[in-house]
Amino acid sequence: MKFSCWITYAPDAATVAELRPRHRAYLASLLAQGELVLAGPFADGSGALFVYEAADEAAAMHLIGQDPFFTGGVFAQVLVKPWTAVFCNPSALQPALASAALASS
């Protein structure tokens, strides 16, 4: 089951910058394991959107709880909801997919 996760970041740019490499490595590991569908920050830097693949909400919350941004106090607010994909435009995701492939290599 998919879970959308809307995150609001704490206003601490230094901590965000310090933890970002570990956060992104963690997300890359989830992606490789099939537990992350997509992820990315909001353009204004206020937070991010993640979509996880998890058995239930508790499992999704466990994935969130292991994120270095969570353990480091970057996540000020977390909203998790079950999500069903109905429509998708894969060509609109191509630039993001290419970036993800480069980041993981």
Helices 90-104, 13-32: axis angle to 10 degrees equals 100
Would the pTM of this model clear 0.95, i.e. be above it?
A: no
Domain range summary for the chain, segments of one domain joined by +: 2-104
Position with higher pLDDT, 102 vs 103: 103
What is the CATH number that goes with domain 2-104?
3.30.70.1060
pLDDT in tens, 42-87: 999 999 999 999 999 999 999 999 999 999 999 999 999 999 999 8
26 closest CA partner among 78, 75, 65: 65
9 closest CA partner among 60, 66, 69, 76: 76
Q: Is the pLDDT of residue 99 over 50?
A: yes
CA dist 100 and 94 (Å) reads 10
- pLDDT of 105 reads 43
Q: Which residues pair with 65 in a beta bridge?
A: none
- pLDDT of 89 reads 82
CA dist 59 and 64 (Å) reads 9
pLDDT in tens, 24-47: 999 999 999 999 999 999 999 999
